[in-house]
């Protein structure tokens, strides 16, 4: 009978003490987007937070916890104290237990206070294990009374595709043009570079919206060269217009959702573009690429130089001629051209060159002639209409 009374008294005392100071081991699950979010990930670094819940009557000043674990299933990596106790908390990691202690530091009453975080790693095939705070673990209140504490937390593991999920999206950098203040001409194209810290990008996630057109990864407007993306717009650019280019791309993610980057660049086109109604950007780029394989003789360069001088003198916006001439290595320095003419007369080259300036000249001449003819016919028609109107008015 006496033994039963003692046991009952001890039970109630234990319950009372446990209500006064309760140790909690709380799992710190990973970001919920990386499933499973309700289990630890096997073969990965996981964490639990150990906290102390106190009653209104008790204020704790010290503690000593002995935390047992199963070394065949998990390995304790580190103990990280709460910032409030990091300089006064001691810990020791042993083969099958961890001993953590704190002396003479008041822990607030009537609160749940995080004390430290345990980092651990399971073996590859672990499915469950246990962390337990057992005897001889205790807390000491401000009255120097020792109170036994205990706690146990079951750990459940599941194998996952990777241990360090990538949460950072790729970075997008504009390479060409160098900045958004550069005006866009007829033959403008864009170059982008990408960087991802942990994984590479997914080319199939690529999307660009430019001048009202949406380009996806399979479009011929995209060309990959040495990990850089070349984007060649297929639509004729408008003159003197502000255009936004929005590019988005994602990384390769083994988990549910990829990380996506989206960036918008604002550009402005030239206020004029030569042959804007006749040449598309694709046509002009093809001509420019072919022009790189064409050799212009010094005589033709001189003729082009003279043409350019006339263009400048009339202030006609013909920058594309200058651009084309540079691609075929023509200089706009008259002295250099004349020197080249003299050198060419002294030493004839045996190489056979292809020249298309005669064709280009006739094309320009034809366009000019047609324009003059159009204006002449329009002028004659206008004059005839005015004359008929005058005659009809005089007859009235």
Task: Compute the distance between CA of residue 48 and CA of residue 52 in angstroms, rounded to an integer.
Answer: 13
Q: Which residues contact 96 (CB under 8 A, 6 or more apart)?
A: 68, 69, 70, 71
pLDDT confidence of residue 320: 47
Where is pLDDT greater, at 97 or 299? Answer: 97
Residue of 297, 299, 304, 305 lying closest to 351 (CA atoms): 297
Task: Compute the distance between CA of residue 95 and CA of residue 128 in angstroms, rounded to an integer.
Answer: 19
Task: Compute the distance between CA of residue 396 and CA of residue 95 in angstroms, rounded to an integer.
Answer: 120
Percentage of the chain exceeding pLDDT 90? 39
Q: What is the pLDDT of residues 89-105, one digit of tens each?
A: 999 999 999 999 999 89
Q: Which residues contact 60 (CB under 8 A, 6 or more apart)?
A: 21, 52, 54, 106, 107, 109, 139, 140, 141, 142
CATH of domain 20-158: 2.60.40.680
Q: What is the pLDDT of residues 168-198, one digit of tens each?
A: 899 999 999 999 998 887 778 899 999 987 7
What is the C-alpha end-to-end distance of the chain, expressed in Å? Answer: 141
Q: What's the full length of the chain, in residues?
A: 396
Tokens of 139: 């807390």
Query: Is residue 388 scored above 80 in pLDDT?
Result: no
Task: Compute the distance between CA of residue 83 and CA of residue 74 in angstroms, rounded to an integer.
Answer: 26
Give, in degrees to the nearest 5, the angle at Cα 62 between 59 and 63.
110
Give, in degrees to the nearest 5, the angle at Cα 245 between 186 and 170.
130
pLDDT-derived band at 113 (thresholds 50, 70, 90) equals: very high
Spans of all domains in the chain: 20-158, 171-268, 292-380
Query: Is residue 42 scored above 70 in pLDDT?
Result: yes
pLDDT-derived band at 275 (thresholds 50, 70, 90) equals: very low
Helix (H) or strand (E) holding 299: helix 298-313
Q: Which residues contact 391 (CB under 8 A, 6 or more apart)?
A: none
Q: Which residues contact 145 (CB under 8 A, 6 or more apart)?
A: none
Average pLDDT over residues 45-50: 95
Query: What are residue 310's phi and psi, to 5 degrees?
Result: -65, -35
**Do 20-158 and 171-268 agree at the fold level?**
yes
Residue of 162, 167, 161, 226 lying closest to 196 (CA atoms): 167
Q: What is the pLDDT of residues 191-240, one digit of tens each?
A: 999 998 777 899 999 999 999 999 999 998 999 988 899 999 988 777 78
pLDDT confidence of residue 15: 45
Where is pLDDT greater, at 300 or 362? Answer: 300
The domain covering 171-268 belongs, at the CATH homologous superfamily level, to Immunoglobulins (2.60.40.10)
């Amino acid at each position: 009978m006496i033994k039963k009374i003692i046991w009952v008294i001890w039970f109630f005392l234990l319950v009372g003490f446990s209500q006064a100071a309760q140790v909690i081991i709380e799992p710190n699950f990973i970001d919920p987007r990386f499933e499973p979010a309700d289990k630890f990930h096997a073969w990965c670094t996981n964490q639990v937070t150990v906290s102390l819940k106190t009653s209104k009557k008790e204020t704790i000043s010290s503690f000593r916890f002995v935390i047992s674990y199963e070394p065949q299933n998990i390995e304790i990596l580190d103990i990280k104290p709460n910032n409030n106790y990091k300089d006064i908390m001691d810990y020791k990691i042993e083969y099958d237990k961890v001993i953590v202690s704190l002396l003479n530091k008041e822990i607030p009453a009537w609160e749940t206070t995080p004390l430290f975080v345990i980092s651990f790693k399971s073996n590859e095939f672990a499915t469950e294990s246990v962390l337990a705070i057992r005897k001889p673990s205790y807390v000491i209140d401000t009255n120097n009374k020792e109170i036994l504490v205990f706690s146990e937390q079951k750990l459940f593991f599941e194998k996952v595709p990777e241990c360090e999920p990538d949460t950072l999206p790729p970075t997008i950098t504009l390479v060409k043009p160098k900045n958004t203040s550069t005006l866009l001409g007829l033959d403008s194209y864009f170059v982008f570079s990408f960087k991802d810290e942990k994984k590479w990008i997914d080319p199939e996630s690529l999307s660009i919206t430019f001048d009202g057109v949406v380009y996806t990864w399979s479009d011929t407007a995209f060309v990959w060269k040495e990990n850089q993306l070349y984007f060649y717009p297929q639509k004729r650019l408008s003159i003197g217009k502000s255009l936004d280019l929005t590019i988005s791309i994602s990384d390769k993610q083994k988990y549910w959702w990829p990380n996506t980057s989206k960036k918008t660049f604002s550009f402005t086109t030239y206020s004029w573009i030569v042959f804007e109604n006749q040449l598309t950007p694709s046509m002009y780029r093809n001509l420019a690429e072919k022009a790189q394989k064409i050799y212009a003789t010094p005589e033709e360069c001189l003729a082009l130089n003279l043409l350019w001088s006339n263009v400048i003198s009339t202030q006609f916006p013909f920058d594309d001629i200058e651009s084309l001439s540079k691609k075929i290595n023509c200089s706009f320095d008259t002295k250099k051209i004349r020197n080249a003419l003299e050198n060419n007369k002294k030493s004839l080259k045996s190489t056979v060159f292809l020249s298309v300036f005669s064709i280009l000249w006739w094309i320009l001449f034809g366009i000019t002639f047609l324009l003059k003819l159009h204006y002449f016919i329009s002028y004659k028609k206008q004059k005839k209409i005015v004359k008929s109107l005058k005659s009809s008015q005089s007859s009235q």
